[in-house]
Structure 1
Amino acid sequence: MISTLNHLVQHIEAHLGDSIDVASLASSLGTTEYHARRMFSSLAGMPLSEYIRRRRMTVAAGDVLGDDELLEIATRFGYGSTEAFGRAFRAVHGSTPGEVRRAGGPLRSQPQLRFRLTVEGNSPMDTRIIEHPAFQLIGHAARVPLIHNGVNPHIQAHIAAIPAEAHARLKALSSGEPTGLLQVSADVDPDYTEGTPLTYLHGVAVGHDHAVPDDLDVIGAPAGTWAVFTATGDYPAALQQLWAATATDWFPSNPWRLRPGPSIVAIIDRSPDFSTATCELWLPVERS
């Protein structure tokens, strides 16, 4: 995966003025757009689309300081108007092309990324690979923003609004792995951009042919392979650290890649105040 991401970066660098077809490029490198975007975002700390914009505007700044017409520069970097180019330029540099041309700055440079694998191996990851038939995730869903670190207050508010008897009802409906009450994330932005909306479902797993009550939401999980990771520690910090470790440690070292589908968190055990917990993280995967 590290080699794939470096090839992706090199292609972007050679085609900053072109429309970049990430899906075709990922396919030519032996992976999928979904996996490439998720791994890039996790390892680079920014979405792939944001990196492309920053690199374009970094290189474009040199041209802005020259004598070419702004419309010519905008067209060179794939923008149809000086207004669109100016908005993108200002979003990266904090100043307009005209201001930079007059004053020489300020400018914010995005260096070209290079991915390297640091081999440590001192933190084994508890993982299971499971072939699972199709199933359904049923419960109470809401659209919430993606938050990378700390407690998500929107999810907290959603769960708090669910009556106690509804939790008991869901537990009674649970009829398969993963067991118990589950935290399900679906429809997540492929770039994993913080603040983008996702579907969060508080629910349980049931068989694919299970009759679902009309008042419950449903997310389908097709048959396939799942990587199941276990973490124990402070909640939710240990779970968020586990998420990060799957990208930095596990996927680069194993012959698997993410496939589209919901991610699932099962709470296996927890302290009374929920300050610590043992969690299972279920991620849909396929052989790379």
Structure 2
Amino acid sequence: MLDRLNQAMDHIEEHLGDRIEAADLARIAWTSEYHLRRLFSALAGMPLSEYIRRRRLTVAGAEVLSGERTLLEIAVRYGYTSAEAFTRAFRQLHGVSPGEARRSGASLSSQPRMSFRLTIEGSSSMRYRVAERDEFRMVGRGTRVPLVHEGMNPAIVDFIRSIGRANLDRLEELSDGEPGGVLAAVENLSGGREEGTELDYFHGAVTTRAAPEDMETLVVPAGTWAVFEASGEFPQAVQYLWRDIFTQWFPSNPYELRPGPELSRTTVSEDGTYADGEIWIPVVRTGG
């Protein structure tokens, strides 16, 4: 998988002056466009489209300073339809306009070319299993929140607090399927998996019973799930498991992400320092 991702990175470099389609990169990487976008964001910390934009402007910046082409020629070469559009994008990355950079020889920002390699960190293995599930329903309440990689997510904490203890107990009683207990479901990320990305967050339980009038229903399609477990310091143990799934497990296993909510259940100790977690990721097996 990593070799194919690096081939896609090579394709980007070879076509910075052309229109680059994510679908073409996905074909080079032998994966779906959906999985490529999510995996790249997890590995690189930025959306694929943002990386391409930053690489184009990095190379364009070098050409601006060289003075061999006019600014309009450089703008057109890297896909901008007008000098004004190029100037806006250039200033956003470099902090100065192309004209100012050429006149003053200003310092510019640089987005390094990315390549991916597997790094072994520690000797612990990831515990996972693969489960097939028919369509099921979750009952609970949902909202939209920003993604936080480390530490407590204030938006989620406030949302769960707004649900109230009595309603959380009701959800626990409604739970009669797998995964059991009260769960978090996240989907519809607005960009990639970078810090601050907005996503749909649903707090509820899997049940075969009808939803109470004051609660919502989330229908989860049938499919294959990779199920991971983690135990350790709260909240880092579960957050690091999310990171390791995308940076270690996916590149090393013949599965890719498919559309659907990602589910998690976290049980925290009474003193709030330790947690057992379980994460369900919607996947499809690849030919690799």
Q: TM-score range by the shorter chain?
A: over 0.9
How many residues matched? Answer: 285
The 8 Å contact of residues 8 and 28 in structure 2, kept in 1 or not, is answered as no
CA distance in 1, matches of 2:122, 2:273: 28
Q: CA 1:272/1:121 → structure 2, altered by over 3 Å: closer, same or farther?
A: closer
Structure 2: distance between partners of 1:9 and 1:24: 12
1:5 alignment partner AA = L
Residue type of the alignment partner of 2:259: P
Would you say 1:37 and 2:37 are equivalent positions? yes
Deviates more, 1:182-191 or 1:2-11: 182-191
Partner of 1:115: 116
Instruction: Give the secondary-structure state (helix, strand or coil) at the position aligned to 1:109.
Output: coil
TM-score with structure 1 setting the length: 0.93
Equivalent residue number for residue 269 of structure 2? 271
Checking the alignment, whether the CA contact within 8 Å between 1:94 and 1:106 is kept in structure 2 is: no
Q: Which residue of 2 aligns with 1:251?
A: 250
Q: Which amino acid aligns with 2:215?
A: L
Matched with 1:182 is 183
Query: Where does residue 61 of structure 2 map in the other structure?
Result: 61
- The alignment partner of 2:34 has SS state of helix
SS across alignment from 2:163: coil
Does the 8 A contact of 2:185 with 2:203 survive in 1? Answer: yes
Residue ranges of structure 2 left out of the alignment (5+ in a row): none
Match of 1:284 among 282, 285, 288: 282
Deviations 1:54-109 (A, max 9, x none): 11011001221214332221111111122221222122222221221111121111
1:247 is matched by which residue type in structure 2? Answer: F
Q: Contact conserved, 2:45 with 2:193, CA < 8 A, in 1?
A: no
User: Aligned partners of 2:194, 2:228: CA distance in 1, in Å?
Assistant: 23
Superposed displacement of residue 154, structure 1: 0.6
Cα deviation, residue 16, structure 1: 1.0
Q: Offset at 1:29?
A: 3.3
Query: Amino acid of the residue matched to residue 226 of structure 1?
Result: W
- What pairs up with 1:150-229 in 2 under 5 angstroms? 150-189=151-190, 191-207=192-208, 210-229=209-228
1:235 maps to 234
SS of the residue aligned with 2:102? helix
- Residue type of the alignment partner of 1:258: L
Counterpart-to-counterpart distance in 1, 2:273 and 2:141 = 24
How far the C-alpha of 1:28 sits from its partner, in A, is 4.5
